[in-house]
Chain A
Amino acid sequence: MPADGRCDAPRDGHERPRDAIDHPAGTTVSIRDSAHISAEVCVIGAGAGGAVAAAELAEGGMDVVVLEEGHWHDPDTFTARPPEMLAQLYRDGSQTITLGNPPILLPLGRGLGGTTLINSGTCFRTPARVLEHWQREFGLDVSEESLRPCFERVEEALSVGEVTPELAGANAEVARRGAAHLGWSHGYLRRNARGCVGSGVCAFGCPTSAKQHTGITYIPRAERAGARIVTGARVERVLLENGAASSLARANGVPVARGVQARMASGARVQVRAPIVIVAAGTIHTPLLLARSDLGAQSGQLGQNLSLHPATAVFARMEEIVDMAHGVPQSFYVDEFAGEGIIFEGVAGPPAYAAMSLPLTGARHAEAMADYRRLAQFGVMVSDSSRGSVQALAGRPLIRYDLTDADLRRFRTGLARMRELFEAAGAREVYLPLPDGVSPERARLRDLKLMAFHPLGTARADARPAHGVIDGELQVHGVRGVYVADGSAVPSSLGVNPQMTIMALATRLAFGLLGREVEGSQINEEAACHS
């Protein structure tokens, strides 16, 4: 029980305090006035990294407080209508944009579950070649073998299994047919879903609660194990014993975590006193929070090294009825060109979603949309060599990112091959996301219409203090007790979707803090398939 914060009885369904937790486990921690809370661990952010770390630590017997800026999103409020859901579930209505050539839309989640609430559910382990690169380049002690128990544990917790062809739907079948015809390597994706019925709106709030996002898996576990979870709490600073890191460093002391200072949506102030602080506010917000706290800047790498996996999508008009939103939107991949840094993954959605991403205008747009039932769509994702940065401007993130020529070439190749894929599948017409008359081979940076879903690297791990913000144990260099457990810790582009990597690293951190070996899973992989 917090010293001054209020722990109310389970909610009665009538009153719903805004600055409170209000989620399936049923307990309400509401903070209406300024409060002081003490705990052993304070976790900032309840997304992929934060929720996992909080649950493992609480179950391991530690006294944990989670502070999350967003709220619990009640699935009863999910309407499957994109404009409403973009406004409700995404930070800034999904309108986070990078500055650069070309600008890139970078949607982020906010609330219990963080971005896992609105992600597609695709689950990949970190590829072995990436882990080897991390060992060589960043001096990190990670390998397939050492991370295996972490992945097993996360996969079991989230019911990860391969999508069946029936659930994958006709959109995936179009891509499968094309890839098979061309002899390209492909397969059905593994996802964290349980009881999925292929309703096609993963990115707009799963109305079935089939997607096992961390807000309905790890967060309730954390709470059952005694963690206190405070929503609507924006952490402003990480606090250190005896003041700021820079002054202590100047005095040759080693700064030690004291806790955090947060502000509730109501304006109330909250201070959490905790000797261990785990920052998991996501790749865009973690570096800003560390910078506000005068932490992690010594290497010059804070806010740098931003990779994004920029992506675009191609539409095709098929002979057959596709009904792209009938089925799991991201259920199938083509990895024939993964070695070149190009991967194709399914994307799809209801008419409103398709209409906003269809790269046509005027009468052609209307005509293609009238045939929505025959539209297929697939995504091109690039494992980027480009690197951007994030810094604060008037309290908001200013994200800079320019695509390199090498990545532009990857998009040219990816778009040309995607057209080939659809043609091999029998498309009547292919709609590339390029201006009229521009072929993939001649596409310029400004011709590309890009989005990105996987920001990583802005507080990267590197064993050497001069090269990274955090060390191999994810502790901020030069400080005791402040750790990072989110996408910002991931030191390089992965080439695959990152949530499993982030969760596995958070698991490893939690067990490290508990001083225990990670217990993997005994579960039969086949039996884990619930999709």
Chain B
Amino acid sequence: MPTGSPSRGSLDTFIASAPTLQRAGMRALVALARRPRGATLLGRVPAAEQLAQVVTSLARYDDPELSRTLGWDGAAVVARGRALRRAEGRP
């Protein structure tokens, strides 16, 4: 089982950028998913559970430490990209 904890900052930024309706829906789903009883409830409505899964896992697996254990080092990718960009004089 992965151990990363959801990265609240990036999740909040993501949710805040959505239109009002989706924003409210996502906030409600995330709040439910974070409570044990809420999670059980969600389990009874597969579509809602799937949606909550989308939002919470987007944040959970955004955790750089967890990503690295899965073979993905985003910071290294970005650093390499920036270095190449500079070296080759790209915008």
Separation of A519 and B36 alpha carbons in the complex (Å): 65
B90→A195 contact, CB < 8 A: yes
Q: Please pick, from A81, A351, A449, the residue contacting B70 in the complex, using a CB distance under 8 A.
A: A351
Q: How far is the CA of A195 from the CA of B83 in the complex (A)?
A: 12
CB proximity of A223 to chain B, nearest CB, Å: 12
B10 near A84 with CB under 8 A, answer yes
**CB pair B88 A362 closer than 8 Å:** no
The answer on a CB contact under 8 Å between A79 and B58 is: no
Q: Which residue of A lies closest to B85 (CB)?
A: A209
Q: Does A226 contact B (CB under 8 A)?
A: no
Q: Is the CB of A208 within 8 A of B61?
A: no
Q: Given the complex, which residues of B lie within 8 Å of A92, measured CB to CB?
A: 17-19, 22
User: Measured between alpha carbons, how far is A88 from B16 in the docked complex, in Å?
Assistant: 11
Cβ < 8 Å to B, chain A residues 55-99: 75-76, 78-84, 86-88, 90, 92-93, 95-97
A87 near B70 with CB under 8 A, answer no
Q: Which residues of A contact B61 (CB under 8 A)?
A: 350-352, 354-356, 369
B82 cross-chain contacts in A, Cβ below 8 A: 75-76, 207
| A78 pairs with B1, CB closer than 8 A | no
Is A472 among interface residues, defined by CB-CB distance under 8 A? no
Which listed residue, B1, B78, B81, B85, touches A370 by the CB 8 Å rule? B1
Report the interface size class on chain A.
Answer: 35 or more
CB pair A201–B22 under 8 Å, yes or no, is no
Nearest A residue to B22, CB-CB: A95
* In the complex, chain B residues whose CB is within 8 Å of the CB of A354: 61
Find out whether the CB atom of B49 lies under 8 angstroms from the CB atom of A216: no
Measured between alpha carbons, how far is A78 from B74 in the docked complex, in Å?
A: 10
- Bound Cα distance A463, B54 (Å): 45
A457 at the interface (CB under 8 A from B): no
**Pair A352/B18 contact, Cβ less than 8 Å:** no
Chain B residue nearest to A216 (CB atoms) is B91
CA distance A24 to B90 in the complex (A): 9
Q: Are A323 and B85 in contact (CB under 8 A)?
A: no
* Contact across chains for A197 and B80 when beta carbons are under 8 A apart: yes
Q: Is A396 an interface residue (CB 8 A)?
A: yes
Cβ contact of B90, chosen from A90, A208, A359, A372, cutoff 8 A? A208
Q: Are B49 and A361 in contact (CB under 8 A)?
A: yes
A87, A220, A362 — most chain B CB neighbours (10 Å): A87
Q: Mark A400-416, 1 if CB is under 8 A from B, else 0.
A: 00000000000000000
A199 with B66: CB separation less than 8 A: no
B53/A365 in contact, CB under 8 A: yes
Tell me whether B28 is interfacial, beta carbon within 8 Å: no
| A residues 344-358 in Cβ contact with B at 8 Å | 350-358
Residues in B neighbouring A359, C-beta threshold 8 A: 50
Q: Check A366–B1 contact: CB distance below 8 A.
A: yes
Q: A102 → chain B, closest Cβ, in Å? A: 10
Cβ contacts B1-34/A at 8 Å (1 or 0 each): 1100001001101111111001000000000000
Contact string against A for B residues 50-61, beta-carbon threshold 8 Å, 1 for contact and 0 otherwise:
100111011111
Question: Which B residues lie within 8 Å of A84 (CB)?
Answer: 10, 13-14
Cβ distance A444 to chain B, nearest Cβ, rounded Å: 13
- Expressed in whole angstroms, the Cα–Cα distance for A220 and B61 within the complex equals 36
- Give min CB distance, A167 to chain B, whole Å: 14
Known contacts: A82-B58, A195-B90. The answer to whether A396 contacts B19 by CB under 8 A is: yes
What are the residues of chain A within 8 A of B78 when measuring CB–CB? 78-80, 207
* A93 and B74 contact, CB distance less than 8 A: no
Q: Which of B17, B67, B75 contacts A352 (CB 8 A)?
A: B67
With contact pairs A396-B19, A435-B46 given, residues A369 and B84 touching in the complex (Cβ less than 8 Å): no
The reply to whether the CB of A5 lies closer than 8 angstroms to some CB of chain B is no
The answer to whether A351 and B54 touch (CB under 8 A), given A75-B85, A209-B90, is: no
A residues near B (Cβ < 8 Å) are: 23-24, 75-76, 78-84, 86-88, 90, 92-93, 95-97, 195, 197, 199-201, 206-210, 216, 220, 321, 323, 325-326, 350-362, 365-367, 369-370, 372-373, 396, 435-436, 449
Given A75-B81, A361-B50, A369-B70; 12 other pairs, CB 8 A cutoff? A83-B62, A86-B17, A92-B17, A216-B91, A220-B91, A323-B71, A353-B58, A358-B57, A361-B53, A362-B43, A366-B1, A373-B71
Q: Point out residues on B near A: beta carbons under 8 Å.
A: 1-2, 7, 10-11, 13-19, 22, 43, 46, 49-50, 53-55, 57-62, 66-67, 70-72, 74-75, 77-78, 80-82, 84-85, 88, 90-91
Q: Could you list 15 examples of A-B contacts with CB < 8 Å?
A: A23-B91, A79-B78, A82-B58, A83-B7, A84-B14, A93-B15, A195-B90, A207-B81, A208-B90, A355-B57, A356-B57, A356-B61, A369-B57, A369-B70, A436-B46
Q: Which 5 A-B pairs have the closest CB atoms?
A: A207-B81, A93-B17, A24-B91, A355-B57, A87-B17
